[in-house]
Structure 1
């Protein structure tokens, strides 16, 4: 078992949080969002420290002990935690990510029910159909295709089919751009951020109209689909969700499916970067090794840099004082590369998953703790299963990989390969 450092000795008088030198750290964060917190921890020799982000005091935390604390709902809340730019693009206002307590558990139960095992398998089947149709088109063109961009419309089509959201073919490109902008452009500079805000408003307007038309009987939704469940859902107060909030929750189903395009680009990158694993996965025992390969991608590669919350009420922990209302960032990428948890953490080693499964506060790719009662994402299995489907398709495709920049752009959110994985598809498999 890896050694995990014990918490600091409790002091009789709580100490102030260590501070990273500098007046405001926003630019430094944006320059290296995935490694910023871990580097701050190394500089200060602490797993908890304080900075200014967007001119606001912010606590940074890293490691499994900090993660376990972070998911203590008696000490942290999500309401009012996310910076306004994040709410205006990635999350939207009024969605489940911003709720706490009973309101969160009741709303979360809806999404957990919509992403159960049978539902996930239905989505995987639909994505497989869309992938095969798209791959035939990739093989028909003599030019390389950019995998990151090419899988986005097929995922958007599949997500809408799965959720029961009507999506005419003429609207696919526009709706795909809107869904992608929510996670791909939100932190890509001022102009791109404004475009992401506009995309959020257009996508919410689209789905708000769908909710209103369905409730008025002007649009018939497929029986039992996710869209119908959200339209008919009654919240903790016994009332239907406002149409706009229902639209936000529909986007909370559609957006993550399309965001799997990031993970798929990492799957393709890993197959190129670690070619010995391509042969291993193509072997007779490869199917049994695929889950370990996928989980190591989810640990090793950069997806979310951090998770955000807010201190519920004043408390002391490990001799440090946490003031009420203070925003807190939990380091995901740094925790996934913490040598106290992971042996040789910078190395890509899928075999580590065959020896040991990490605890609920050590592996945070879709959040920590419990899915049903906590804030761990209910779409975790959905993402993993879609990655496995993509892995299988990529292993059976015959491709030429032209010269390109394969490096990950770590200053970008998300940090996809610079050229998006360009492939010349000779045979779709």
Structure 2
């Protein structure tokens, strides 16, 4: 049969590079923050194909890949996250797994909470709670900062969100909220503990929602608990109590998780003490903002995000088939030398001239928070980090005793192996 020389058929897609393993789950577990980037560098490609948990997965890295990943016409979140993360980190039925108009309506509920005045109120509660905690910390020979800050954040965010928290409950609720993110990537018994913590925390928050709806609990109308209890979804219905509990936890859990970044701030001030003086002398908040951003860029939080291909498409000559799971390298993108000069150098001043590209800087997702899947609590993170940086740089006297401060890069999220122990001065 003769071939038509003037055929307009599209050229065949080139084959995606492969990492050569039958399944890369163990490789990813051994090096969760470096595996994706190292394989892309080895293969000389911004994309490669492998299997994760026996499922075909396309892995991508870099700012251009992030821009692709956050295109809602190309990708969807429904059914993308592994079931073990839905059962621990996110909860089933939450905003993270929604798309299109349904996602937009649910996301607006969270965005409406992120007003400057409300975020400032949370910051004030954080300062108040930190100040009170210092007296307890000073009475102990040593304090693990990671654990101590999680309790501070639990107390502050529950008050801010309108969630009652009796003093006797604080250790339990801190432990439960922490387990949702701190043990989400664990295996074995710790994974099952995280699942149990999710179950009990949803019972707790579901009870709060039901009491508000029954008129048994009065909460401020601008609080997160009130917003979730009264929210009407795109289908015109209120959230059932279980889903409402999931979404209330989607306010509490990420706020407590800011403890990871605060410990990274303490680590940065210990490793780069020249940052202390600019923070102490920072009268307009600019340097504190740069410092918080650089901590988020430089230090690891969660390594990757996942989505599924909505419809077949080609990108850079590679074919992305409908339904295929895609994993975006967040940590590697934040260290991409095409976007960041000397990416392995800690330099807060780089943010003085940053171009505000939402795809080269993706510590809590990329794109537009109001319309896409970037975390709506990013402004809360920055507010709390800036306040914590001021405490750590001069608002609180403490010493860092000898300990193992190496980041455990096999842990999700990565923190110093010691949890960052401090000895707080009493004066």
Please tell me the TM-score bracket, short chain as reference: over 0.9
Q: How does 1:280-429 map to 2 (within 5 A)?
A: 280-283=278-281, 287-396=285-394, 397-427=396-426
Gaps of 5+ in 2: 1-9
In 1, are the aligned partners of 2:307 and 2:326 still within 8 Å (CA)? yes
RMSD: 1.3
Q: How does 1:16-415 map to 2 (within 5 A)?
A: 16-141=15-140, 143-283=141-281, 287-396=285-394, 397-415=396-414
State how far apart, in whole Å, the 2-side matches of 1:415 and 1:357 are.
28
In 2, are the aligned partners of 1:62 and 1:332 still within 8 Å (CA)? yes
State how far apart, in whole Å, the 1-side matches of 2:413 and 2:298 are.
14
1:16 CA drift (Å):
2.5
User: What SS is found at the alignment partner of 2:112?
Assistant: helix
2:18 is the alignment partner of 1:12: no
What's the CA shift string for 1:347-397, capped at 9, x where partnerless?
111111112234111100111111111111111110011001101111221
1:427 CA drift (Å):
4.0
1:318 CA drift (Å):
1.3
1:229 CA drift (Å):
1.3
In 1, are the aligned partners of 2:282 and 2:288 still within 8 Å (CA)? no
- TM-score normalised by L of structure 2: 0.95
What's the CA shift string for 1:222-251, capped at 9, x where partnerless?
333210111011110111111111100000
How many matched pairs? 417
1:284 CA drift (Å):
5.6
Shift of the 291–427 alpha-carbon distance from structure 1 to 2, 3 Å rule, reads farther
1:313 CA drift (Å):
1.3
1:288 CA drift (Å):
3.0
State how far apart, in whole Å, the 1-side matches of 2:258 and 2:288 are.
17
Gaps of 5+ in 1: 1-10
- TM-score normalised by L of structure 1: 0.95
State how far apart, in whole Å, the 1-side matches of 2:112 and 2:285 are.
28
1:271 CA drift (Å):
0.3
In 2, are the aligned partners of 1:280 and 1:286 still within 8 Å (CA)? no
User: What SS is found at the alignment partner of 1:369?
Assistant: coil
User: What SS is found at the alignment partner of 2:229?
Assistant: helix
Which aligned runs of 4 or more in structure 1 are off by greater than 6 angstroms? none
State how far apart, in whole Å, the 2-side matches of 1:374 and 1:343 are.
28
Shift of the 236–285 alpha-carbon distance from structure 1 to 2, 3 Å rule, reads closer
State how far apart, in whole Å, the 1-side matches of 2:290 and 2:156 are.
26
In 2, are the aligned partners of 1:63 and 1:334 still within 8 Å (CA)? yes
1:8 aligned partner? none
In 1, are the aligned partners of 2:151 and 2:174 still within 8 Å (CA)? yes
Shift of the 168–300 alpha-carbon distance from structure 1 to 2, 3 Å rule, reads same
State how far apart, in whole Å, the 2-side matches of 1:214 and 1:339 are.
50
User: What SS is found at the alignment partner of 1:114?
Assistant: coil
State how far apart, in whole Å, the 1-side matches of 2:340 and 2:15 are.
30
